[in-house]
Homo-oligomer: A and B are copies of this chain.
Amino acid sequence: LNNNPRISPETVLKVNKAIKELNYHPSRSARGLVSRKTGNIGFILTEDHFLRSEPFYTSVFLGTEFEARRDEYYVLLTTISSDFKNSDPLPRFILEKNIDGLIIAGKVPPLFLKKISKYELPMTFVDYYQDSDSYPVVLVDNLAGGMEAVNHLISLGHKKISFIGADIDHPSIQDRFSGYKIAIERAALKFSEEFCITDEEYPNRESGYNAAKRLLEKNNGVTAVFAANDAMAIGAMQYFHEIKLKVPEDISIIGFDNVDIAKELVPPLTTIGISTIDMGIEVMRLISDLLKNKIKTAKKVLIPYELIVRKSTARLK
């Protein structure tokens, strides 16, 4: 049997021996039939998040899969469209009740969350949340990370520090921006909208390029830039390159995420790194604990960040 306290230790031993010898594995179907559990966890993210070239969510998923091995769960991954419509079908494993719990990774359409809420599935979020009072969530410590990024620039003597961001309603981006503001204010530098570009649509290379262009056209003497993520930082660097502005001699730039190619750029990008595998592991632990009623639903886990200093930031001349 499986960990029933009323069984004598010797019997347990004998049983375990037989399990080994016969290479016995209990049937999940039979177990599931009586326990009304499937042993499956759903993992949902939008298609474009899954397919983007930086394997951020791929790595988060892999973390959940690693941890699932320990917890004896299987993870069923499925994608939804990022413009999920009311007429779109819900993931099959929800309709068929083939999962015990659900992990939502990254930003998903609010309409989708609304539609699945009536299924009352145990649910956890990673790298996004809508209602952190109801569901456990794993987040990057974006606020502290943003502060750290800006503090690094300040420690190099920079005073005119810019923030370039996009999709500012996204909680992660918002927090990074808040970190920027707090760091600026704590250093007794004055915060100015002048230095901030926050109205680009998506935080990608293109918007980084555009934001850098708009920023420099203001001609306000910026010497350092904190980009909301590495993609935007890369786009900004491309613009700097085009107008012959040297990084880091003329302008310093720091990103966020530590994407794969950050270290291969010229110059290699200073950034804030996070362990995406750990994010997956943590969110799997949360859902597992939730299913075992081990935690209250409001738990929040913040994943530590790490300042990675490369060559794109330098002391102000």
Given contacts A29-B33, A79-B62, A79-B65, contact A74 B50 (CB under 8 A): no
A residues near B (Cβ < 8 Å) are 25, 27-33, 38, 40, 47, 50-55, 58-59, 61-62, 65, 69, 72, 74-79, 92-93, 95-98, 205, 259-261, 264
Question: Which residues does chain B contribute within 8 Å of A92, judged by CB atoms?
Answer: 69, 72, 74
**10 examples of A-B residue contacts, CB within 8 angstroms:** A28-B29, A28-B38, A29-B32, A33-B33, A40-B74, A51-B55, A51-B58, A51-B59, A65-B79, A77-B77
Residue of B nearest to A92 (CB): B69
Given contacts A51-B58, A55-B53, A58-B58, contact A33 B27 (CB under 8 A): yes
Question: Which residues does chain B contribute within 8 Å of A40, judged by CB atoms?
Answer: 74
Q: How far is the CB of A75 from chain B (nearest CB, A)?
A: 8
A50 touches B62 (CB 8 A): yes
B29 touches A38 (CB 8 A): yes
A62 touches B54 (CB 8 A): no
Tell me the number of copies of this protein: 2
Given contacts A50-B58, A55-B58, A65-B77, 18 further A-B contacts (CB under 8 A): A27-B33, A28-B32, A28-B96, A29-B31, A29-B33, A32-B32, A40-B74, A51-B59, A52-B55, A53-B53, A53-B261, A55-B55, A62-B79, A65-B79, A74-B76, A74-B98, A75-B76, A75-B77
Residue of B nearest to A26 (CB): B96
Name which of A53, A93, A261 has the most chain B CB atoms within 10 A of its CB: A53
Residue of B nearest to A47 (CB): B62
Q: How far is the CB of A50 from chain B (nearest CB, A)?
A: 6
Contact partner of A53 (CB less than 8 A), chosen from B29, B72, B260, is B260
Question: Which residues does chain B contribute within 8 Å of A62, judged by CB atoms?
Answer: 47, 50-51, 79
Q: How far is the CB of A80 from chain B (nearest CB, A)?
A: 12
Give 7 closest A-B pairs by Cβ, nearest first: A29-B32, A29-B33, A53-B260, A25-B96, A29-B29, A51-B55, A30-B33
Q: How far is the CB of A293 from chain B (nearest CB, A)?
A: 22
Provide the bound-state CA to CA distance between A264 and B204, in Å.
13
Question: Which residues does chain B contribute within 8 Å of A93, judged by CB atoms?
Answer: 74
B95 touches A78 (CB 8 A): no
Provide the bound-state CA to CA distance between A62 and B48, in Å.
11
Q: How far is the CB of A231 from chain B (nearest CB, A)?
A: 12
Question: Which residues does chain B contribute within 8 Å of A78, judged by CB atoms?
Answer: 65
Q: How far is the CB of A185 from chain B (nearest CB, A)?
A: 37
Residue of B nearest to A66 (CB): B79
Given contacts A62-B79, A74-B76, A76-B74, contact A54 B51 (CB under 8 A): no
